[in-house]
C-alpha cells in the first residue's frame, strides 16, 4: 500500500508535464488529430500495423539481449503486449543510443521506448506517452571505495552512458534541475557506450564511480558483487515513451493500450518478472 500511495502522488505531480509533452497546452494532441480520439484513429493504426520499437539493446532490465540471444526486458515485453492488444505486428529495432534521434526521425522506428527519461531538456523534442516508471539517478561505487559522499567525487573519474538522462543531469545546471555544479568538481566525466561497459571499467579501476539510474543499477548489482550506491541521490526522473512530435495519434493509441494493460493486470504480470524495477512502476 505504501508503494501505491507514494507512486500515485508522484504520478499526479508529473501528469501536468505529460499533457504538454507534445508542446503547448493539454489540447494540443486533440487539435493535431482534428478531434479524433485514440479509438477513432484506427485507419492508419488498425490491425496488421507494423509497430517498429526502437530500443537500446544493452539497457537491462528494460531492454537487452539475453544469454540465449533473445531480445527481452520489461519495455520489450510491454511493447509486445501493446501489439497483441491491437493485433499489430511487433518489429524490434535495436538502435545505437547515441543515434536514437536520427533513427526515429528517419522512420527506422516509431518510438524510443527503452528506459527513456522525460526530462525538461527533452520536453519539446518528442511527443511523450504517459509516464509508466519513476526513477532516481544515483552514484554507484565499489563497496570498498573511499568515496562516501558526493563531495568525495571531487577530482574523480565518473563514468556514464552516452546519450542518457544521467549525462544530461551532469550537464544541466541546478537551476534547471541538474547537477552540473557538482559535475564541475569531477576530475573527468568518462562516457561509455553501455552501462555494462561502465561497470566493467569500474571493477577494473579505470573509473572511480558511475552516474546511473537506480533501476538499471539494481539490475547490474544483481549480476555483479561488490557494488553499492552512495546515500545521496543526484535527482529524480520519470520514464515515458518518446514519439515523433507529429505522431500524436500513435501516441494516443499506445497510451490507451497501456491504460488497458494496467487495468487488466497484464502490466503487473510483466512487471513481476523484473523485481529490480517492479516497485518503480507507476501505472500499476
Return averaged pLDDT per consecutive 10 residues of the chain, 284 residues in all. 43 43 40 38 82 96 93 98 98 95 97 92 93 95 98 98 92 90 98 96 98 94 95 93 97 98 98 94 95
State residue 3's pLDDT score.
43
State residue 43's pLDDT score.
63
CB atoms within 10 A of CB 20: 15
Contact 130, 21 (CB under 8 A): no
Helix axis angle for 248-263 and 74-86, nearest 10°, is 100
pTM of the entire predicted model: 0.76
**Structural domains of the chain, with CATH:** 2-132+240-278 (3.40.190.10), 135-236 (3.40.190.10)
State residue 25's pLDDT score.
38
C-alpha cell recorded at residue 247: 505522431
Amino acid at each position: 500500500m505504501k508503494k501505491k500511495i507514494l507512486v500515485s502522488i508522484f504520478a499526479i505531480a508529473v501528469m501536468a508535464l505529460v499533457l504538454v509533452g507534445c508542446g503547448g497546452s493539454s489540447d494540443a494532441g486533440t487539435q493535431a488529430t482534428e478531434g479524433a480520439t485514440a479509438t477513432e484513429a484506427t485507419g492508419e493504426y488498425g490491425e496488421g500495423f507494423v509497430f517498429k520499437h526502437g530500443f537500446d539493446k544493452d539497457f537491462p532490465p528494460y531492454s537487452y539481449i539475453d544469454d540465449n540471444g533473445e531480445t527481452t526486458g520489461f519495455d520489450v515485453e510491454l511493447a509486445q503486449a501493446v501489439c497483441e492488444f491491437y493485433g499489430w505486428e511487433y518489429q524490434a529495432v535495436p538502435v545505437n543510443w547515441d543515434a536514437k534521434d536520427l533513427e526515429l526521425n528517419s522512420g527506422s522506428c516509431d518510438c524510443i521506448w527503452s528506459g527513456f527519461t522525460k526530462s525538461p531538456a527533452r520536453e519539446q523534442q518528442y511527443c511523450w506517452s504517459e509516464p509508466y516508471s519513476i526513477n532516481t539517478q544515483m552514484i554507484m561505487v565499489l563497496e570498498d571505495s573511499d568515496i562516501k559522499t558526493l563531495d568525495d567525487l571531487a577530482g574523480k573519474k565518473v563514468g556514464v552512458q552516452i546519450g542518457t538522462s544521467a549525462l544530461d543531469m551532469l550537464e544541466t545546471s541546478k537551476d534547471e534541475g541538474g547537477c552540473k555544479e557538482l559535475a564541475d568538481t569531477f576530475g573527468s566525466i568518462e562516457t561509455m557506450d553501455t552501462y555494462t561497459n561502465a561497470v566493467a571499467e569500474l571493477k577494473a579501476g579505470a573509473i572511480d564511480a558511475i552516474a546511473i539510474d537506480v533501476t538499471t543499477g539494481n539490475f547490474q548489482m544483481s549480476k555483479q558483487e561488490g557494488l553499492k550506491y552512495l546515500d545521496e541521490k543526484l535527482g529524480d526522473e520519470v520514464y515515458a515513451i518518446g514519439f515523433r512530435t507529429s505522431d500524436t495519434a500513435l501516441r494516443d493509441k499506445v497510451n490507451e493500450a497501456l491504460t488497458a494493460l494496467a487495468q487488466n493486470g497484464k502490466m503487473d504480470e510483466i512487471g513481476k518478472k523484473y523485481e529490480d524495477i517492479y516497485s518503480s512502476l507507476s501505472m500499476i
